[in-house]
Amino acid sequence: MPHGATGTLTASQRRYLRGLCHHLHPVIMLGTKGVTAAVTGELRKALAHHELVKIRLSGGDHAERRRQIQTLLDATGAELVQEIGHTASLFLRNDDAPKLALPR
């Protein structure tokens, strides 16, 4: 499973965030070009604003989707909360203005 650069989420925090992800709609959708500089730029903005973001991955096999996720994690420093099919949820704490209160 791909993982974020920091790896700071505890199991209970990850479980809490997965619960929040359930009602989210994807805000980033990868097209046929996959991960581009424009996509990573928009993802950085979305993470800074929301902290928890759902992404719709482009087609391809499971290995390709995992590569896409890892590229996004490496580019943003975010952490993978969950991956289900063609959808992934990423979290990145906004240290200047935290939006979500995480359990300990």
Helix (H) / strand (E) containing 17: helix 11-21
In a domain? residue 96: no
How far is residue 82's CA from residue 18's CA, in Å, rounded to a whole number? 7
In a domain? residue 4: no
With CA atoms as reference, report the closest residue to 93 among 51, 55, 57: 51
Q: Range of 16's domain? A: 11-91
What is the tally of structural domains in the chain?
1
Please, what sign has the CA dihedral across residues 4, 7, 9, 15? Answer: positive
1 pLDDT more than 50: no
In a domain? residue 40: yes
pTM above threshold 0.85: yes
pLDDT in tens, 8-33: 899 999 999 999 999 999 999 998 88
CATH number at residue 35: 3.30.110.60
pLDDT in tens, 56-80: 998 778 999 999 999 999 999 999 9
In a domain? residue 102: no
pLDDT in tens, 85-104: 999 999 999 999 899 999 98
Encoded tokens for 32: 């046929």
In a domain? residue 3: no
6 pLDDT more than 80: no
